[in-house]
Amino acid sequence: MPNKDAILSFEDLEIHFTLRGQILRAIRGVSLDVARGEALAIVGESGSGKSVFTKSAMGLLDANGSIAGGHIWYDGKDLAAYRTEKEWLTIRGKEIAMVMQDPMTSLNPLKTVGDQILEAVLLHQGLRGEAARQAVLEALAAVGIDDAPRRYRQYPHEFSGGMRQRVVIAIAVACRPKILICDEPTTALDVTIQAQILDLIKQLQKKLDLTTIYITHDLGVVANVADRIAVMYAGDIVEVGRCEEVFYDPKHPYTWALLSSLPQLGVKGQELYSIKGTPPNLFQEVKGDAFAPRNPRALNIDFVERPPFFEVSPTHKARTWLLDPRAPKVEPPELIRHLRQQGGSRHV
Ligand SMILES: Nc1ncnc2c1ncn2[C@@H]1O[C@H](COP(=O)(O)OP(=O)(O)OP(=O)(O)O)[C@@H](O)[C@H]1O
Ligand SMILES: [Mg+2]
């Protein structure tokens, strides 16, 4: 049953892709509650399933993919049971909107920016004529685009990358969604612009009372935006907690590895840590803890049985046998112990 406090609730979600007659298990029984009004970050390596997981809540899986089990609860409805475009159009854009990595692919190069925002305003805000035009100008201003009347008539190619991403965000929020999913919205942008876009999303979240899900493979980026972090590995969420819990008291060896590879934590003159090995092949059955083969501290049981979630605090849990009371004491790497000592006194 759905959790009443959650705006969106994934329950035992399974997503499969069929490729040349073989089945790839992209999401392997994942449960996650997204709380109303929160900013949640989903982090993990490339291919871990971040995009597939969130796209499933908008009916945007590729044609060879399907929800093979579980539920996606939203507003009392199970979206996992949706089959038709007609059903999805009641959700997509309207209730849950997404900002993708590359703004150029989400914008129509042949239409002015103003007209593209106008479409969303006409469709979702029920405004017409001059009132609709005003709403577009306000939307442009709200995402920090100056000189809105002139910008209204321009085409996407006349905008810089950062400005285009602002337009995409303006379109998304013009639909008045309750949930905004940002899938790597800043990876194509340089660092200063990245920070500005993050700030913008944060501002809009407050102003419009949005719930945001923020996808990135860069843990460093989320420290300033998210209330909570979910760490994804090989189609599973292996740790979830409040930002400071995951940063300063991480429990899963994969989270240790991910944090250790943060450039911000690197020691000058020493080579930056990188996670050895590759993620498992999801065409094959994954035994035990999927990270075990890459984990120098793996226990025997990690290769045999999939760990359950162990609770660290009411808001923090991790899927690792290290948290089993019977487990031997395994110290995290020095870098992680060091973080813990700092205990929140420093921003990552
Ligand atoms: N249409 C598809 N057919 C087959 N496999 C797919 C398809 N789409 C995604 N996958 C697989 O599903 C898994 C998860 O992919 P996903 O795109 O969600 O990763 P991601 O975490 O978003 O990675 P990135 O950080 O690179 O965006 C990967 O193994 C990917 O190869
Ligand atoms: Mg992705």
Statement to judge: residues 32 and 173 lie in one domain: yes
| Nearest-5° Cα angle at 36, 34 to 40 | 45
The residue whose CB lies within 8 Å of the most ligand 1 atoms, and thus the one to mutate among 50, 53, 214, is 50
Statement to judge: residues 219 and 99 lie in one domain: yes
Query: 74-83 pLDDT, tens per residue?
Result: 999 999 999 9
Residue 347 has pLDDT above 70, yes or no: no
Q: How far apart are CA 181 and CA 159, in angstroms?
A: 23
Label residue 208 by pLDDT band (50, 70, 90).
very high
Classify residue 175 by its DSSP letter. Answer: T
Nearest alpha carbon, ligand 1 atom 18? 49
CA of 26 to the centre of ligand 1 (A): 7
Nearest alpha carbon, ligand 1 atom 31? 47
Residue 129 has pLDDT above 90, yes or no: yes
Statement to judge: residues 238 and 220 lie in one domain: no
Average pLDDT value for residue range 131-139:
95
Statement to judge: residues 44 and 173 lie in one domain: yes
Of the listed ranges 99-108, 116-125, 175-184, the one predicted with least confidence: 99-108
Domain boundary among 199, 226, 253: 226
Label residue 271 by pLDDT band (50, 70, 90).
confident
In a domain, 270, yes or no: yes
Query: 324-345 pLDDT, tens per residue?
Result: 999 999 999 988 888 877 765 5
Which residue in 278, 282, 291 sits closest to 252, CA to CA? 291
**Domain of 57: which CATH number?**
3.40.50.300
CA of 328 to the centre of ligand 1 (A): 35
CA of 149 to the centre of ligand 2 (A): 35
In a domain, 221, yes or no: yes
Amino acid identity of residue 320, one-letter, is T
What's the chain's Rg over C-alpha atoms? 21
Residues at CB less than 6 angstroms from ligand 1: 17, 19, 24, 26, 44, 46-52, 62, 64-65, 217, 282
Query: 116-125 pLDDT, tens per residue?
Result: 999 999 988 8
Which residue in 98, 40, 12 sits closest to 240, CA to CA? 40
Q: How far apart are CA 215 and CA 185, in angstroms?
A: 8
The pair of structure tokens assigned to 189 is: 């942008």
Domain boundary among 226, 250, 280: 226
- Sequence-distant (≥ 6) Cβ neighbours of residue 176 within 8 angstroms: 94, 124, 125, 208
Statement to judge: residues 160 and 267 lie in one domain: no
Statement to judge: residues 250 and 212 lie in one domain: no
The residue whose CB lies within 8 Å of the most ligand 1 atoms, and thus the one to mutate among 22, 24, 99, is 24
By the CB criterion, residues less than 5 angstroms from ion ligand 2 are: 51
Statement to judge: residues 157 and 22 lie in one domain: yes
In a domain, 1, yes or no: no
In a domain, 209, yes or no: yes
Nearest alpha carbon, ligand 1 atom 30? 47
CA of 58 to the centre of ligand 2 (A): 15
Which residue in 35, 17, 34 sits closest to 26, CA to CA? 17
In a domain, 194, yes or no: yes
Report the Cα 246 to chain-centroid distance in Å: 15
Statement to judge: residues 203 and 80 lie in one domain: yes
Statement to judge: residues 210 and 236 lie in one domain: no
Question: What is the reported pLDDT for 318?
Answer: 98
Whole-prediction pTM:
0.93
In a domain, 247, yes or no: yes
Atom of ligand 1 nearest to the CA of 63: 1
Tally of structural domains, the chain = 2
Average pLDDT value for residue range 284-302:
95
| Nearest-5° Cα angle at 278, 222 to 334 | 60
Question: What is the reported pLDDT for 142?
Answer: 93
Which residue in 179, 57, 177 sits closest to 125, CA to CA? 177
In a domain, 255, yes or no: yes
Statement to judge: residues 169 and 192 lie in one domain: yes
The range of the structural domain enclosing residue 304 comes to: 231-345
Place of tokens 């949930």: 179
- Sequence-distant (≥ 6) Cβ neighbours of residue 144 within 8 angstroms: 166, 196, 200
Torsion angles phi and psi, residue 44, rounded to 5: 160, 160
Domain boundary among 226, 245, 272: 226
Statement to judge: residues 307 and 170 lie in one domain: no
Statement to judge: residues 196 and 322 lie in one domain: no
CA of 216 to the centre of ligand 2 (A): 8
The residue whose CB lies within 8 Å of the most ligand 1 atoms, and thus the one to mutate among 51, 55, 182, 187, is 51
Question: What is the reported pLDDT for 1?
Answer: 59
Residue 7 has pLDDT above 90, yes or no: yes
Question: What is the reported pLDDT for 274?
Answer: 83
In a domain, 319, yes or no: yes
Place of tokens 């935006």: 225
